[in-house]
Amino acid sequence: MSPDQPGTIAVTLQGSRVMMDRVVFVELFENSVVSARVPYRHALERSTIGFSDLVDLARTAQVPWALCFAPRELVRVQVETKTQKLLQGLSKDTFAVNSRATIELSDVELIVKDLVRKQMMLRTHDESLAENKIVGVIRRPRATIEEDVAVLLTALDLDVALLRSARSKGAALSFLIETLEAHQILVSRSVRGFMPQLIEVKFSGLTIKDRKVPYIFLSRGSHGDDEEPEGRQLFTLTLLTVLVARGIFAPVTYDGRNLASNPGREYDIVGEILMPVAQMRTVSSDDLGEIRSTADSFKVTPSAVVVRLQRLGLISRSGAQQHLEELRVEFANRPKSQGRQPKPVNGVRTYNGRELSVRMLGALDAGKITEGEFCRAVCANKIRPREIRDFREALG
């Protein structure tokens, strides 16, 4: 075939050209962390790529470069086998609370693959990891919601009073993340520009199975439903924690303003952790000002308090809807803050999570991986070897 035929891509090396099947090239790299990189896009546009660029793409995507010249059938089998292995810790079904939204696995597949790869890498290099005691700890429901809550809080050594005493909702979120990471639950948060793909769907997060280091991915932002991000994130992260404890691993959608008739046991567990029924009974459901102050005390959104009140039968459905609409308009009219692109060391820290980053620095210090491997495999080449010291400092 000539190099200008649409079915091939020319691989160049020192003046020589070897033809590569375009279908094979796309099969190997389109659903990988390199799909948005310039060499890959240029190869598709120009039907040519340098051999060194091809090898670099293959190394980053963890694909043997020789596979680029293999028959289509062999490549397809290899890709399917690897994908099935990587995604075996994630249900294809969407776990939804108060939401009818569903998530196609392709919408988050690159993020899942990247986090699973990090799990596998950590297990390979950190022999100190123990069996995780939180996974499935409330898989079998107790007689009451309160009993499930007591078991989970004990397992996490989580003092909810300390959570509520945090100086802000953001500080409470950080406190919960630190608690989870202290129990070998990795927590990743979305950071635009530091993830292997953009999230274009309404998506709250996901839980990824592992017997030692389960991963939680928390999608940040208001999700288009006019709620303050940090209060919503604390509720969502608590929900994702409950799912890990229930042994549920799936993409998650959560609508914090929908008055579902039966949001499920998981919602009630989260509600009892963050907004205990005994204290909710003292809230004046007609007073939106008191609802706001209650939300500040519990470190959740006012909408979460309203939905919890309605769930407990402490406010009528019409009264709850009226409050939610007023809160929606109020939040929508707030001045919009402009998000800033974080420094690379901070973006990587937030997306990886501190626990994984610290443990992989330990592997680097022990000589189990090189600085180049650390920057490539752990940091996706967002930082360079000379910036590793800055990365350590960013981790605190």
Q: Is residue 80 part of a domain?
A: no
CA–CA gap between residue 340 and residue 327 (Å, rounded): 26
Residue at which a domain ends, from 280, 302, 332: 332
Residue that has been written with the tokens 């680029």 in this structure: 68
Q: Is residue 73 part of a domain?
A: no
CA–CA gap between residue 297 and residue 167 (Å, rounded): 10
Report H helices in 247-377: 265-274, 277-280, 288-298, 302-311, 317-332, 344-352, 354-365, 371-373
Q: Specify the pLDDT at position 2.
A: 39
Question: Within 10 Å of residue 191's Cβ, how many Cβ atoms?
Answer: 18
Whether residues 391 and 272 share a domain: the answer is: no
CA-based torsion, 223, 227, 233, 236: positive or negative? negative
CA–CA gap between residue 135 and residue 248 (Å, rounded): 9
Whether residues 28 and 95 share a domain: the answer is: no
Residue that has been written with the tokens 């375009």 in this structure: 22
pLDDT tens digit at each of 396 positions of the chain: 334 446 999 999 999 999 999 999 999 998 777 877 899 999 999 999 999 999 999 988 878 999 999 999 999 888 887 777 666 666 667 787 877 778 877 778 888 888 998 999 999 999 999 999 999 999 999 999 999 999 999 999 999 999 999 999 999 999 999 999 999 999 999 998 898 887 777 788 999 999 999 999 999 754 444 456 889 999 999 999 999 999 999 888 888 777 877 788 999 999 999 999 999 999 999 999 999 999 999 999 999 999 999 999 999 999 999 999 999 888 888 877 666 788 999 999 999 999 999 999 999 999 999 999 999 899 998 999 999 999 999 998
Whether residues 155 and 103 share a domain: the answer is: yes
Q: Is residue 78 part of a domain?
A: no
Pairing of strands 205-208, 95-97: unpaired
Q: Specify the pLDDT at position 110.
A: 84
Question: Within 10 Å of residue 110's Cβ, how many Cβ atoms?
Answer: 18
Distances (CA, A) of 202 to 58, 87, 89, 132: 31, 21, 22, 30
Dihedral Cα 103, 301, 144, 314, nearest 10 deg = -120
Whether residues 177 and 316 share a domain: the answer is: yes
Can you give the residue range of the structural domain that contains 302? 89-332
Whether residues 306 and 365 share a domain: the answer is: no
Whether residues 351 and 319 share a domain: the answer is: no
84's tokens: 């099935």
Q: Is residue 116 part of a domain?
A: yes
Q: Is residue 83 part of a domain?
A: no
Whether residues 60 and 205 share a domain: the answer is: no
Q: Specify the pLDDT at position 197.
A: 81
Whether residues 307 and 278 share a domain: the answer is: yes
Helix axes 302-311, 288-298, angle to 10 degrees: 100
Mean pLDDT of the chain: 89
Q: Which helix (H) or strand (E) holds 53?
A: helix 51-61
Whether residues 315 and 352 share a domain: the answer is: no
Whether residues 59 and 125 share a domain: the answer is: no
Residue at which a domain ends, from 10, 31, 64: 64
pLDDT tens, residue by residue, 147-160 = 999 999 999 999 99
Q: Is residue 234 part of a domain?
A: yes
Q: Is residue 349 part of a domain?
A: yes
Q: Identify whether the C-beta of residue 23 lies closer than 8 Å to the C-beta of residue 72.
A: yes
Q: Specify the pLDDT at position 131.
A: 96
Whether residues 288 and 360 share a domain: the answer is: no
Q: Give pTM, 2 decimals.
A: 0.82
**DSSP string of 88-127?**
GGS-SSPEEES------HHHHHHHHHHHHHHHHHHHHH-T
Domain count, the chain: 3
Residue that has been written with the tokens 């993409």 in this structure: 251
Q: Specify the pLDDT at position 225.
A: 47
Whether residues 113 and 215 share a domain: the answer is: yes
- DSSP letter at 197 equals S
Burial (0-12, 13-18, 19+ Cβ within 10 Å), 28: buried
pLDDT tens, residue by residue, 375-385 = 989 999 899 99
